[in-house]
Amino acid sequence: MMTEYKIQHFVPQWYQKNFASDSSKKQIWVHDIRSGEIAQQTIYETAQEDDFYGVEFEKFLKPFEQNSAELIKTILTIDQIKQLSPVSIGKLHKFFTLQMYRTKTSKIIADKAVKRHLETDLKPKYKFLFQGQPEKLEYVENLDLSDIDFFKHDIKMALASSEALSDLKFFLIENKTKIPFITSDDPITVNNYFFKKTGYPGLFSPGLQLFCPVTPRITLALIHDDVYHVQTNSDQKIILNQETDVNYLNSFQFLKCNKQIISDKNYSSYYSTLQKTIGEIQSKNKSVKSLEEINYGIHFSFIRFNPKSSQKLAVYSKNGQNAQRAGKTRVNKPIRNETIFDSVIQKTETVIRDFLVEINSLPSTQ
């Protein structure tokens, strides 16, 4: 049983099998963006680390993975999103939020945030409070929160926050071009036409666009269509005929991934030609500092501005002002839906309480 959970994938094996390079669905092509090497390897050894989450947390994640695997399989079988029940849509929201925050990149960001919080917030605060108390000052100076796994709390917060996506609309993107979709070790990517106007990068951001390739020909999209006009058919399916759109979506994978680009074939020649597009996008993101701030500023042919978006942004700004006045958030940033925001805050309170219990080893100020 221990062996079963020792190798832990931050991109599930069931997901990778949709990009398998062999009929047995055991092999996959992997491009290492750091070394430049590209080779075929097993899915078992791709996008994983030994004991990445720990055995118990891996078991905690297993039911969510099973739900997601079954749901994506259903979507690919019926070839549409529109027929899904509200319960299924809710599970799909959890798949997106879980996959966004469970990766190697997310763990690196969480660990850095912990160290920054400790050095810039906690230590200065306690040093001020414990002036003239040498023993406590020494304790604070040597304080180390590395034994507290903030990363797992981030994942639980993401699952508790999945309702934040409930006002976005799902679309199925079908790729009709000669260029396939590729994926990576951090497959869900983010875009937002309104980022410069709102300055708000989170899950409640007006104009949010999320993309997740699920096969070389199909990508799932979650779009805040209230401020866009999305070119789609009656079944919420977007037909992609322009290679430029595919190149943009594939470039996102290069820019978001930690290390590995994943595909069903060796596309080394295509990757070389894609570098120009990647460079253009990178030049627009020199100031990006965090995972949620990734905004590639890319405009797709199938997503256009809604002429009434300015009026709608005014409403979202008012929602943010109300939340700040009520003490629900420290910053005044636009929020798409105030009711959903309130609901998510309530759901995440339990996770926050658990987190506070875990850091209660901090010295008392009494």
pLDDT in tens, 177-197: 999 999 999 999 989 888 766
Neighbours of 286 (CB within 10 A): 6
d(CA 150, CA 122): 15
At 128 the pLDDT is 75
Label residue 47 left, alpha or beta by phi (over 0 means left) and psi (-120 to 50 means alpha).
Answer: left
Nearest to 118 by CA among 136, 151, 144, 147: 144
Residue 80: φ, ψ to 5°:
-165, 165
Per residue in 127-175, pLDDT tens? Answer: 777 788 887 777 777 766 665 577 888 899 899 999 999 999 999 999 9
Average pLDDT, integer, range 233-252:
95
- At residue 214, what is the residue type? V
Q: List the structure tokens of 328.
A: 């629900």
- For 41-53, letters b (16+ CB in 10 Å) and e give eebeebbbeeebb
Is residue 283 classed as helix, strand or coil in its secondary structure?
Answer: coil
Instruction: Specify whether the CB–CB gap between 123 and 143 falls below 8 A.
Output: yes
Task: Give the DSSP letter string of 49-92.
Answer: EETSS-HHHHHHHHHHHHHHHHHHHHHHHHT-STT--HHHHHHH
199 pLDDT band (50/70/90 cuts)?
low
At 154 the pLDDT is 85
Neighbours of 275 (CB within 10 A): 12
d(CA 23, CA 11): 20
Instruction: Specify whether the CB–CB gap between 277 and 41 falls below 8 A.
Output: no
Angle at 341 between CA 332 and CA 303, to 5 degrees: 85
Is residue 343 classed as helix, strand or coil in its secondary structure?
Answer: helix
Per residue in 62-105, pLDDT tens? Answer: 999 999 999 999 999 999 898 899 999 999 999 999 999 999 98
